[in-house]
Amino acid sequence: MARPQPRILLEQEQEDSTVWQVLEGDETFLITYKGRPASIRVLSPGLGEDRKKYRRMSYTELGTCVGQIKRLNAKFNTTDFDYIRVFRNLNVIQK
């Protein structure tokens, strides 16, 4: 069975002939910690300044989200990271 064609919301061709498309998503998966939406910040010491990087915590594909959850649970030696599913009309559904 073939995947359905996505609905294109916006399309723009760049100078290097690449085409960027904004696609409509049906659902988004948010990573949570102990049932609450979470964010991850990584601090790296630099030359006289601290560098902050924020990790991505929302995904459009379930498999990618689950893989990231497994990595986070292993890194922090816990099982408290999970996900919630958010649908297009912003209804939040627990998995």
Whether 49 maps to a domain, the answer reads yes
| Total of domains in the chain | 1
Q: What is the pLDDT along the chain (95 residues), one digit of tens a residue?
A: 677 788 888 999 898 989 998 888 788 899 999 999 999 998 887 766 778 889 999 998 899 999 999 999 999 999 999 999 988 766 556 55
Whether 10 maps to a domain, the answer reads no
**Nearest one of 67, 59, 56, 64 to 85, comparing CA atoms:** 59
Whether 79 maps to a domain, the answer reads yes
Whether 15 maps to a domain, the answer reads no
* pLDDT score recorded for residue 29: 93
Whether 1 maps to a domain, the answer reads no
Whether 12 maps to a domain, the answer reads no
* pLDDT score recorded for residue 95: 59
Whether 90 maps to a domain, the answer reads yes
List the domain range (segments joined by +) for residue 42: 25-94
Whether 2 maps to a domain, the answer reads no
Whether the model pTM is above 0.75: no
* pLDDT score recorded for residue 87: 80
Tokens of 89: 């009309």
